[in-house]
């Protein structure tokens, strides 16, 4: 079965711009979580969506937002980009949510802010 698909794989943006990343979960999975991975901070939770509703949110500024569509696909948006937003953004898909079922990760989107 198809895995978690993230697009685009690589992105270069300049400071002040905004960016939208996309994640298509495994078919039938209703939960999508987003994580930011940087060398210094490791893997940090951004937010989780379940059935189009944000269920959990990490400690990130309001510039980071997301949404989930009725087909469970999710997007995250980062506005007014800063250099520190450069990171690998990973999304994870699970049937019901990470606590209840195993989470499967996509290949990630590597965002570079210059």
Partner 1 sequence: ELKVEQNPLFLSMQEGKNYTIYCNYSTTSDRLYWYRQDPGKSLESLFVLLSNGAVKQEGRLMASLDTKARLSTLHITAAVHDLSATYFCAGATNSGNTPLVFGKGTRLSVIA
Contact residues toward partner 1 (CB under 8 A) are 31, 33, 35, 42-43, 45, 48, 50, 55-56, 58, 90, 92, 96-100, 102-108
Residue 76 phi, psi dihedral angles, 5° rounding: -125, 145
Q: Which is nearer to partner 1, 12 or 17 (CB)?
A: 12
**Residue among 14 and 86 whose Cβ is closer to partner 1:** 86
Q: Which residues contact 39 (CB under 8 A, 6 or more apart)?
A: none
Q: How far apart are CA 101 and CA 93, in angstroms?
A: 10
- Give CA 93 to chain center in angstroms: 10
CB of 33 to partner 1, least distance (A): 6
The C-alpha atoms of residue 41 and residue 14 are separated, in whole angstroms, by 22
Say how far apart CA 15 and CA 86 lie, in whole Å.
Answer: 10
Nearer to partner 1 (CB atom), residue 20 or residue 37: 37
Compare residues 48 and 85 and give the one whose CB is closer to partner 1.
48
CB of 62 to partner 1, least distance (A): 18
- How near is the Cβ of 31 to partner 1 at its closest, in Å? 8
Q: Strand, helix or coil at 34?
A: strand
Q: How far apart are CB 102 and partner 1 at their closest, in Å? A: 5
């Amino acid at each position: 079965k198809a895995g978690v698909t993230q697009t685009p794989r690589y992105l270069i943006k300049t400071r002040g711009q905004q960016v939208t990343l996309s994640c298509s979960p495994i078919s039938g999975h209703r939960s999508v979580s987003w994580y930011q991975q940087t060398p210094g901070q490791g893997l940090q939770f951004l937010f989780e969506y379940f059935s189009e509703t944000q269920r959990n949110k990490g400690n990130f500024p309001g510039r980071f937002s997301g949404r989930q569509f009725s087909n469970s696909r999710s997007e995250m948006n980062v506005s007014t980009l800063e250099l520190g937003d450069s990171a690998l953004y990973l999304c994870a898909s699970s049937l019901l949510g990470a606590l209840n079922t195993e989470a499967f990760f996509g290949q990630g989107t590597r965002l570079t802010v210059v």
